[in-house]
Amino acid sequence: MTIDFSKTALKHIAKLSTSVRNQLTKRLHLFIDDPDSPQLHRHKLKGEYNGYVSINISGDYRLVYKELSPNHVYVVAIGTHSQIYS
């Protein structure tokens, strides 16, 4: 699987605490190995992010991406629920 990051997503990652960044790394490995894992709580989004998908990183943190093909995703946002959806 190929995962590309928008400039915005890279800025979001740079602002994450070390512990959340470590959890992000673990979840990305899980996502690559098993995108349908129940731990990811993967679901399609509506509204402003219609056509995008969200996965759970840890607690309140989410990663939002667009699936470009079955093996290629483009990450557009990473942050807390309120940071992303408000």
> Closest Cα to residue 54, out of 17, 80, 18?
80
Mark out the alpha helices in the chain (DSSP H runs). Answer: 7-15, 18-33, 81-85
Q: How do residues 44-55 score in pLDDT, each as one tens digit?
A: 999 999 999 999
Which option is the CATH number for 2-85: 3.30.2310.20, 3.40.50.450, 3.40.50.720, 3.40.640.10? 3.30.2310.20
Taking the C-alpha atoms of residue 25 and residue 19, their distance in angstroms, rounded to an integer, is 10
> Closest Cα to residue 4, out of 86, 75, 61?
75
Q: How do residues 18-28 score in pLDDT, each as one tens digit?
A: 999 999 999 99
Share of the chain above pLDDT 90, in %: 88
